[in-house]
Structure 1
Amino acid sequence: MKKKIKIGILASPSLSGGNNVIFEHLSHIYKRETFEVILIFDKPVKDEELFWFQGIQKLPRLTLKEAEKNHFDVLIATFWRTCYDLLNLNANHYLYFNQSVESKFYPDSDFNNQNAAEATYLLGLNVITEASWIQKYIKTHYDADSELVLNGIRKENYSPTGESHASKESGKLRVLIEGNIQSSFKNVPKTIEICKKSKADEIWLLTNSPIQDYEGVDRVFSNVPTYETQKIFRSCDVLVKLSTVEGMFGPPLEMFHCGGTAITYNVTGHEEYMKHDFNSLIADVNDDSKILEYINLLKDNPQKLETLKKNALQTAQEWHNWEEASLAFEKAILKCIEKKQPSGQVIHNKIQLLNRWFTETNTINEELKHTHRQLGLKIHKRITSVWKKHKR
C-alpha cells in the first residue's frame, strides 16, 4: 500500500474567516483520508479553544516545538507570520496558502510589519491562493505563478430556509454588520455609525470581538460558532460590510445563500461573485454617502430589495461547496509538489536572514520610539516650567 503524503499545516486556533477557510479544506481532506494531515500551532491547543469549528478537534495536532522533531513531505504556511516559523521545521516541500496580501493589513507607519509580510513572497515558497486578484498581484510584483482555489461554502448550512433568530417583516429593513471591532481595515465602528444615520429599522452585529452590546445596535452576536451563523444571516435583509482589504470576501456569499443581499465597497475580492445592481450594491472605497444612499434605497424601494435578493440567490446556487473546493485544494498541493523550488536549506537561510533583519529593525524602531517619548516628556516639562514662571 502506498504511503500517504504527510502534510503539516501551520495555523491558528482563533475564530476568524481565514482560519475557517483553512479548517474547511483540512477537515474534508482528513475525512477522505487522502493525505496524513497534521495541524501545527505555536503552543498547546485544547479542544475547547476549537469550539467554533465542529470536527476539527479530531485532526492530529502538534506544537511548533514538537513539529521540529518530525519530518514532513509537505509543510504549508498560512498567515504571513507562519512563513517565518518554517525556519526550524523540515520538509521535502514548502508551500504558502496565501489568503490576502497581508502587508495591506498595516498602516504605512507600521512599515516593519508591512515589509515582513511582503517579504514572504521572496522566500521561494510555492503558493496557493484563494482569489484572482492575489494571484495577479504575486505575478505582477514577483513574477511568480501560483495556484488558484476559490473558497467553497457549506450548502447544508447556508440556505434560505431553516432556523432563524427572528422573522423578516414586510416593509422593514434589518441590516447586518459583520467583523472584528478592533480591526482597522474591517471598519466596523464606521459601518455602525452609517447604519445609525440610515432609515434601517434594525441593526444587528456579528463579531468575534468579546462584547455583549454596542451603542446603537439592536442585537449583538459575539463569537458564534461558524455552524450557527446561518441563523443570523437568515434573519437579516442586507449585509453592510465596508472592509478595505479582503481576500475572497466570504460573508456576502454566505448572505446570498441565506436569501439576503449585500452593500459593500469595491474591495479586493468582491469581483469573484458580486455584481453591482444585480445581486448587490457596490460603492467606491470610502464613498460613505453612497453607502448611506444605498441603505435608504432598499428601505424605500422594497421591490429593488427583492430583486437583488432573488439574483443573489441565483448566484449562490451556481457556487460550489467545500467538498469541491477541497478537492481542488488537494490538486493544487500536488501541482505545487511538482514545481521547482529552492532547497530547504536555501529557504531556511532566507528566513533566517529576513528574521534577523526585521528583528533588528524592530529593536531600532522601539528604541527610537522610547527616545522620542523621553524627548517629548522633557519638552513637556520644560514648557510647563516656562508657563508656570510666565503666569507668576
Structure 2
Amino acid sequence: MDPFADTLQRLREAFDSGCTRPAEFRAAQLKGLSRFLQENKQLLQEALAQDLHKATQLDSAFIRKEPFGLVLVIAPWNYPLNLSLEPLVGALAAGNCVVLKPSEVSKSTEKVLAKVLPRYLDQSCFAVVLGGPQETGQLLEHKFDYIFFTGSPRVGKIVMAAAAKHLTPVTLELGGKNPCYVDDNCDPQTVANRVAFFRYFNSGQTCVAPDYILCSPEMQARLLPALQSAITRFYGEDPQSSPDLGRIISEKNFQRLRGLLSCGHVAIGGQTDESDRYIAPTVLVGVQETEPVMQEEIFGPILPIMNVRSLDEAIEFIRRREKPLALYAFSNSSQVVKRVLAQTSSGGFCGNDGFMHMTVASLPFGGVGASGMGSYHGKFSFDTFSHHRACLLRRPGLEKVYALRYPPHTPRNLRVLLAAMETRSCSCALL
C-alpha cells in the first residue's frame, strides 16, 4: 500500500480548488510560519543544539551574471531561422561558446546556417553541427554546460535524460494542445478572423497556434460561417493558389495530418494534394476527445471544435489535460477571460487574440509542465544563458566586530548576532 497516496491526493485537490492563489491566503501562510519561528524559538534552539551543537553588515553583496560555458542549441524546423537565432543571441550575449544544431528537416535553411553563418562569427567560439537523430544522439553523449532545446515533448524527454547524466541544466521549449475557449458572449466574425489567422499562419505549423476550440453548440453554429468567410477572405476561393498559405514541411507530416482528417467530420476545407504537400484550411466538428486529433499536437492547418455546455465544463476540460504552451479565451466579458486565466495554467495566455503575447519583448516565453521548462525572449534570453552567481565582498579589517560570531557563544554575543541577522534593506548578516 502506498503510504503517500492519500497525502499527495489531498494536497493536489487543495491546489486544484484554488485556495492557495489569493494573496490573503499566501500572506496568512507566511505569517503562520513567522509565528512558528517566534513562538518556538527556545524549542528550536534546543533541537538544533541536540542535532548539530550550534546555534553583515558593512559588506558589498551583488549578483554576478556569468556565462555557463559551452552551450548546445537544438533548433526545430517550423521556424528554422527564428528559433535558431533567438536563443543564439541570448547565448552569445551572455558570453558562452555555442554549438548550434539546426533541424535536418528544413534542409535549405540548415545549409545556409552551416555554410554562411560561421563567416560572421568567431569560429573559435561557435560551430554548426549537422545531421539527423543519430548525430544528435551522439552529440548529446558529450558534456555541455547548458542545453537549449525546441521541439516535441517526446524528444524533449530524450534531451533531458541525456543532460541528467552530466547534471546539465536545460531549457525545454516544447509544444502541446493549446485550447481556445470561445464564450457565447462574442462577436463570431471577430473571433473567426483572429482564430483563423493564428491557426493557419505558417499552415498551422506553430507551437503556440490555437489547437482546438471549446464552445457551445450555439456558438459553433454562429462560428462556422464566420470561419468560412475569414478563410475565403484570407486565402481566396482556391486557397491552394494563394501565395499566403504555406505547405506542410515533409511527406511524413503530410501523411500524418491527412490521417487526422478522418476524425469527426469536415465542416470546412478538407482538400489535400500529396504532390504539393497541400492541406486546405480545415475545420472539424463532431470530434470526440478520444480521437487522434485530440490526443496529439496537430501542427497543421486543421482546427477541431469541441462542444461544452458551460464555462465550468470548459475549464474542467482544460485542467484535466496536460498544461499547454498557450491558452486563449474570447469573450466580451472581462470577468470570463479573467476567470479562465485564474483557474487554468499554461505557458502563456492571451485574451481575445492569438499568440501576440510571444511578440512582446518584455514578457518571457516558455512552457510549464509537459509544454516545457525555462523561458527566453529579450532580456530573459540573456538571463537564461547566465549563471546568477551570488557574491559577497567583505572588508579584511573590523575583526573585533566579526569576532562576535566565533565561539564560545555567550548570551551577550548571541543577542548581538540575532539583532544583526534581522532583515534590513541592502545589508548582510554578520555571519
State the structure with bigger RCO (CA 8 A, min sep 6), 1 or 2: 2
Scaled by the length of structure 1, what TM-score is found? Answer: 0.35
Structure possessing the higher radius of gyration over alpha carbons: 2
**Alignment TM-score, normalising by the size of structure 2:** 0.33
